[in-house]
Structure 1
Amino acid sequence: MKWNIAAEAISFVMLGIIWVYSRKGSHLPTLKNRIFQGCLLVTAGAILTNILSTIMIYRLDEFPMWMTWSVTMVYYVLTPLMGFAYFLYTVSIVYTERKELRKVIGFGVMPALVYGVLVLINPLTKNLFDISLVQGYVRGPWIVSTYLIFYAYCAASIVVTVLNKKRIDRNIYHILAAFPILAVLVILVQQMYPNVILSGSAATCALLIIYLHLQNKQISMDYLTNVPNRKELLNMLGLMIKKSPEKQFVLVVVSLRDFRQVNNTCGQQKGDEFLKNVCDFLYEIGPKNHVYRFSGDEFALLFTHSDETEIKKCITDIRQRMEKPWQIGDYRFLLSVVMGIIWHSGDGETLEEVINAVEYAVFRAKSGKSGEICYCDKEMLDGLERRRKVIMILKEKIADCSFEMYYQPIYSVADGEFCYAESLMRIPESPIGPIYPSEFIPIAEETGLIIDITYIMLDKVCRFISRLLERGIPIQAIHVNFSAVQFSQNDLMEKVLEIIRRNHTPMSAIKIEFTESTLAENTQVVSKFAVEMEKHGIKMGLDDFGTGYSNIATVINIPFGTVKLDKSLVWGSVENKKSALTVKNLSRTFQELGMTVIAEGVETEEQSRLIANFGIDQIQGFYYAKPMPEDQLEMFMIKHWTPAD
């Protein structure tokens, strides 16, 4: 019989191409990656020995018989065991637990061992094949076992995949189920046409599917900078933490500041070139093979050996280089960076904790709270864990609307009564103890949870106002604070009106307050919102005026009903005559513009007298009343209510 080995030769070339490209892919020392390289070697060996054996059998008189026998025996070992290699690859993906993995491999290796013995004793038994100068190459009675072994391992791969369908990603499941079937189909075609050798083609097709969908470098490499991507970093960190949790490592995230302006100035394409240049520099001075693209304009450097001298030198090199301009063509920029650094000490931090910590360190560095370099130490990790718990508690409170409302009465100087109040949200009890607004409000704003919290707060205030009015207790208005984040909502006005109407609350009984910083950040949005709210009878209130974020021109162009002077102005007026004169004149100006002026933070009798002499309309502070729960406020208002004659 004459065999056609053209397909094998082509498959060998394709396999070489796959091997070259796979070497540029993931460098993770995972079992999956090592087995894939093993699959390539086994398949390459099988194809090569198949080609050589065929040539030698054709020319028995030109090669020593022992050489032909040896090459053919290696071919017989490797070809069926390609199925075993694929089986190992499948179980390395499906089973992540070492004990479970070893158990499955232990059972799986038995047929391979038995078959190996058959090949080793074949020179004596001739059960698989025989080669002689007289008869040439002759198949033995047990030749079918070579196909059965291959089919058995392919079937085992499919069974393992199907049985573990729920624990595998859907896309990976389809790939693991498909490639053994394809290999079996190609081998079946070979049995139909025995003169065409396709065993190597079957293996190459299977490996090509695996490479394209599971081992492709595009999965692990960043297309722009050609360094490993964030996913590859997470996989590497996860592997390190799992295999050697006590091992120390240092993760540095380098974040470019305001890089969007570079793109806006010179375009996306030139911006990408700047990113590549920065990445090339970091790759040159950073830890070898451990520079990653962490996100759009952020790069991560992973020091697997915590050599403090090396790390400090790298950070110094980065800072010094960033002091010099970067140039692409005609464009020249100074690129500033901040760095977040975490030192994994082996104290049991999880992958999620490590990533959260370094991202928080970058956030702190960007905010300027820790300088341009922020080291995430044990104290910060503890703070981050508390922050995580606070976020969880806030989400739980949002889910069941269980925030407690407190109200601080506001004293009206003209009539000597308390007809107004400011609403305040409190968390007096939680699994981690009381959480004060100074802690949970900034966290809620950073995470965007403040949006839902504010709507819940407004709803509670509306219900409370309706309750007071039903009981005949006079309440003119309750102030509700809105964060700057709230004004990012396109349907803010509709939601506010819907909540007020749903509770049958008079529109004029709600006073929406926001700070000067909110006004400065969203001047046009706030102004438009204030104008629309005024049409419905809802007046705006400016909180904390005097903290330096806005000017008079901005304030007078927005229809404010009230302006609340910050407590710093109140306290400063007691000690400084110039401050007192400024506050007095400011108050008179606002009043002439039709606004009600409120002084907050009044805590002493001296402050109270001074503010009253300024002619301020309303006063808020501990000197008059502290924040109190709903029931206490109701009793307080009844007590201080003077019924009309």
Structure 2
Amino acid sequence: MNDNLFHIAFYCATILVGLTAIIYTNLQKRTDRRQNRIFLFMNYVVLFNAITCLCSEFIELYRHFFLRGDGLIMLFQYVYFLVHTPIAAIFLYYVLTVTGSIRNKSVFSKILYLIPLCLTEFLVLTNPVTHFVYYYSEGMQFNRSWGEIIIYLVSIAYTVFAFICLMMSWNALTRRRRWAIVYFFILTIIGVVVQFLDISIKSELFAESIALIGLMLAVENEDDRLDAETDFYNRNALKMDVESLLTKKNVFYIVCVKITNIDSVRRITGLSNADEIVQEVAVFLKTLLPRYYIYHTDPNTMLLLVKEDDFINSELEALTIAEDIDCRFKSEWTVHGVQMKLSAVTIVASIPMHIHTLADLMYMIDTPVPKDIDRTILRNGDLKFLTRRAEVETAITEGLKQGNFEVYYQPTYCSDGVTLHGAEALIRLHDPKLGDLFPDEFIPIAEQTGYIDDIDDYVLNEVCAFLQSGEPTRLGMECINVNLSVVQCMQDKFVERIRGIVDSYGISKSLINFEITESVSASDYELLSKVITSLKENGFQFSMDDYGTGYSNMHSLFSLSFDIVKIDKSILWDAENSELGEIILESCIHMIKQMKRKILVEGVETKKHVEKLKKLGVDYYQGYFFSKPITKTELLSYCISR
């Protein structure tokens, strides 16, 4: 009886764990992908097996209540083997699906995979007659036969093959997915081996159910890959998925939708958040492709993946989707009862025909569509602007060698609108062939190619040399703001390098105020917090740039120790166009003031702006009302003339 109770406890725990995984997966509504359905099916198999085993244990424990207890026990045992035998093959299928390897398998190879499974299932099906797998001796004593050894060997073969497939796709998986699947292997093998060596320890099903919970949390749960507003995948998910496809040399098409007038629509309609517009577009895009093929990469851009193995003609499908999108954007959209006309450009590109690397794709996403293009669907010859990436990369390398970079400065003013506070250092690139290039174009490429370190160091050295001259202090500047690349500050010994550069000029560190863009700073709060804390301890100041444009501004504002919060110009401009925008501006300022942080508002372009912000108690202003970005020489002349 004690053994039966011990077994019942194991099976009850297995049922509870299995039900938890099934219920949680369904509540998350992540059941539309093939891998989701396979995962649920494995859970159903383990749950069903646990229930049949639990019934057998109860019948054996209370045999005197059942007239045909022996027959029921044999029936449940038969059903258990019949249902549980394919579990290793199903797991192999799951691994092939998660890694994407299933797409590369021929029909013949898939049939070969099924042959061992069919053999073991045949042994189980015929067991009541042949007893090849197991049999019962007198006293209902369970005995293994050679067929069960075959089933174990086949399961091991499937598991080993799954592990090999995992190793071959190792670079295509995220670190979390790799180790979660390895954990499944190890835990399941331990449970199977223990039960194989000692049949009285019913650990196999329990180990499988626990491992499935691990898979659910680490592989099936995709909260970190999802954009909360649209339920599409986010930018990081796109990078991981495309890198995986490139690793496997898959051919696929990209349909990239860029909404080109979203900022002007927000101002005209009074809608303060672009997400409300994007949500409406998202609803439409879900009618064209399943949501797991759609990515929201930035506030104005969404991207659809059309994979070659999902369609008979992926190129034709991609063009059809692009035409449907183009047609829809010719009609009006309705957001909260407001009618609006959205303009969009749809780009259709092939990987690897038009786009060869992940960096090329991210450049396409981040680069504005050239203004001289008058078509709304771009493909083939229209994509020549993508070759500009190579030209810009050359301009960066030559610019660093030939000294074609120059630091511009945009003044910032105190609350009275008269007293100079400081300036923001802004980098420009003067290329003999391409002309003047702005940071929006060359900084993303510099980050991807590794030149960002040289550019950031150049800006810091120029600012330090300017401060060393003593001119900024004589003009009354309290500090100069220097934009900090998060890519750079993630590197080892970053703080030491920055401190070394500034110390070499013998200037006060308090004269430098580093800026970090709010939406970027949300990427790694813990590491950035350590960097900011360390630099502040050395005397530097810190500002949050573009507050109000990112997805996690509240988190970053509370988590990171900023001295100044720079409110993005869009918040100020929205306050001019709607009562809601004015409420948002006032609320932002009130909240930041309560947190004892200084406030700088960007985009100040009129005297009316200055008067409004003065009433709200803003500390500093920056914008074209005072000055556009100008060279160092022009800055000195400008400040003296005022």
**Contact 1:49 1:71 (C-alpha < 8 Å) held by counterparts:** yes
The SS at the match of 2:368 is: helix
**Relative to structure 1, is the Cα distance of residues 401 and 105 closer, same or farther in structure 2, using a 3 angstrom cutoff?**
farther
- Which amino acid in the other structure matches residue 23 of structure 2? I
Question: Which of residues 172, 180, 183 in structure 2 aligns to 1:175?
Answer: 180
Distance 2:286 2:91 in 1: 38
Check conservation: 1:83, 1:154, Cα contact below 8 A: yes
> CA separation of 1:50/1:253 partners in 2, compared to 1, >3 Å: closer, same or farther?
farther
Q: Which of 258, 262, 266 matches 2:263?
A: 258
Matched residue, 1:439: 434
| 1:299 aligned onto 2:298 | no
- Give, in whole Å, the separation in 1 of the partners of 2:199 and 2:73: 21
Deviation, structure 1 residue 126: 2.8
Match of 2:641 in 1: 557
Q: Please name the residue that 1:39 is paired with.
A: 42
- What do residues 606-628 of structure 1 show as CA deviations (whole Å, max 9, x unaligned)? xxxxxxxxxxxxxxxxxxxxxxx
Q: Which residue matches 1:580?
A: none
SS state of the match for residue 364, structure 1?
coil
Deviations 1:452-481 (A, max 9, x none): 9xxx9xxxxxxxxxxxxxxxxxxxxxxxxx
Runs (5+) with no aligned partner, structure 2: 307-313, 405-428, 470-622
CA RMSD of aligned residues (A): 5.9
Any residues of structure 2 matched to 1:154-553 within 5 Å, and which? 169-187=174-192, 197-230=202-235, 245=251, 250-254=255-259, 257-258=262-263, 271=273, 274=276, 277-279=279-281, 281-283=283-285, 289=291, 292-300=295-303, 306=317, 314-318=325-329, 320-322=331-333, 326=336, 337-344=342-349, 348-350=353-355, 352=357, 355=361, 359=365, 363-364=368-369, 368-370=371-373, 374-385=376-387, 387-398=388-399, 401=402, 437-439=432-434, 441-442=436-437, 446-448=441-443, 489=459, 492-495=462-465, 523=627, 526=630, 530=634
Shift of 1:493: 3.7
AA partner of residue 347 (structure 2):
I
8 Å CA contact 1:43–1:79 kept in 2: the answer is yes
Residue 447 of structure 1: how far off its partner (Å): 0.6
When residues 522 and 288 of structure 1 are mapped into structure 2, their CA distance, relative to the original with a 3 A threshold, is farther
For residues 154 and 221 of structure 1, the distance between their equivalents in structure 2, rounded to whole angstroms, comes to 31
CA distance in 1, matches of 2:355, 2:113: 33
> Letter of the aligned partner of 1:437 in structure 2?
P
Match of 2:23 among 2, 17, 25: 17
After TM superposition, the structure 1 stretch with the greater mean CA deviation from structure 2, 312-321 or 9-18, is 312-321
In structure 1, the residue matched to 2:615 is none
CA distance in 1, matches of 2:195, 2:111: 31
Q: Secondary structure at the match of 1:226?
A: coil
- The code of the aligned residue for 1:494 comes to C
Q: Contact between 1:175 and 1:210, CA under 8 Å: does it hold in 2? A: yes
Q: In 1, distance between residues paired with 2:113 and 2:36?
A: 19
Give SS of 1:176's match. helix
Report if the CA contact (8 A) 1:25-1:220 is conserved.
no
Cα separation, 2, equivalents of 1:284 and 1:341: 16
Asked if the contact 1:285–1:314 (Cα under 8 Å) also holds between the matched residues in 2, the reply is no
Partners of 2:372 and 2:213 lie apart in 1 by 51
- How many residue pairs match? The answer is 444
Q: Distance in 1 between matches of 2:171 and 2:456?
A: 41
Structure 1 counterpart of 2:441, which letter? E
Correspondent of 1:6 among 4, 12, 18: 12
The letter of the residue matching 2:186 is: I
Cα contact 1:25–1:218 (8 A) shared by 2: no
Contact 1:82 1:203 (8 Å CA) reproduced: no
Task: Give ranges in structure 1 of 5+ residues lacking alignment.
Answer: 328-332, 404-424, 427-435, 457-484, 500-518, 535-553, 559-645
Give TM-score, length-normalised by structure 1.
Answer: 0.51
Letter in 1 for 2:345: G
The whole-number CA distance in structure 2 between the counterparts of 1:152 and 1:105 is 15
Q: Helix, strand or coil: the match of 1:523?
A: coil
Q: 1:61 to 1:199 in 2, by over 3 A?
A: farther
Per the TM alignment, residue 341 of structure 1 is displaced from its structure 2 partner at its CA by 0.7
Letter in 2 for 1:393: T
Task: Give the distance between the partners of 1:40 and 1:255, measured in 2 at CA.
Answer: 46
Return the alpha-carbon distance in structure 2 between the equivalents of residues 439 and 521 of structure 1. Answer: 30
User: Contact 2:326–2:376 (CA<8 Å) still a contact in 1?
Assistant: no
Q: Compute the displacement of 1:191 (Å).
A: 7.0
Structure 2 counterpart SS, 1:24: coil
Tell me, in whole angstroms, the C-alpha distance in 2 between the residues paired with 1:162 and 1:301.
Answer: 29
Q: Give the whole-Å Cα distance in 2 for the aligned partners of 1:166 and 1:359.
A: 24
Give CA deviations for 1:274-312 in whole Å, capped at 9, x if unaligned: 357535653577656465423235334668764978755
Aligned equivalents of 1:20 and 1:45: distance in 2?
A: 18
Mark the CA change 1:491 to 1:94 in structure 2 (over 3 Å): closer, same or farther. Answer: same
Instruction: Report if the CA contact (8 A) 2:17-2:213 is conserved.
Output: no
Whole-Å separation in 2 of the counterparts to 1:379 and 1:26: 36
Alignment equivalent of 1:138, drawn from 136, 142, 160: 142
- Contact persistence 2:294–2:305 (CA under 8 A): yes
Q: Following the alignment from structure 2 to structure 1, what is the Cα–Cα distance between the partners of residues 160 and 323? A: 54
- Output the CA distance in 2 between the equivalents of 1:110 and 1:137: 32
Distance 1:159 1:528, change over 3 A: closer
How much has 1:24 moved relative to structure 2? 1.8
How far, CA to CA, are the matches of 2:216 and 2:210 in structure 1?
A: 10
Distance 1:381 1:71 in 2: 63
Residue 173 of structure 1: how far off its partner (Å): 3.1
CA contact (8 A) 1:128 1:141 kept: yes
Aligned equivalent of 1:119, options 116, 121, 124: 124
Measured in 1, the distance between the counterparts of 2:92 and 2:287 equals 41
Give the fraction of aligned pairs with identical amino acids, expressed as a percent.
Answer: 14
Q: Relative to 1, partners in 2 of residues 1:188 and 1:529: Cα closer, same or farther, differing over 3 Å? A: farther
Q: Partners in 1 of 2:55 and 2:343 — Cα distance?
A: 59
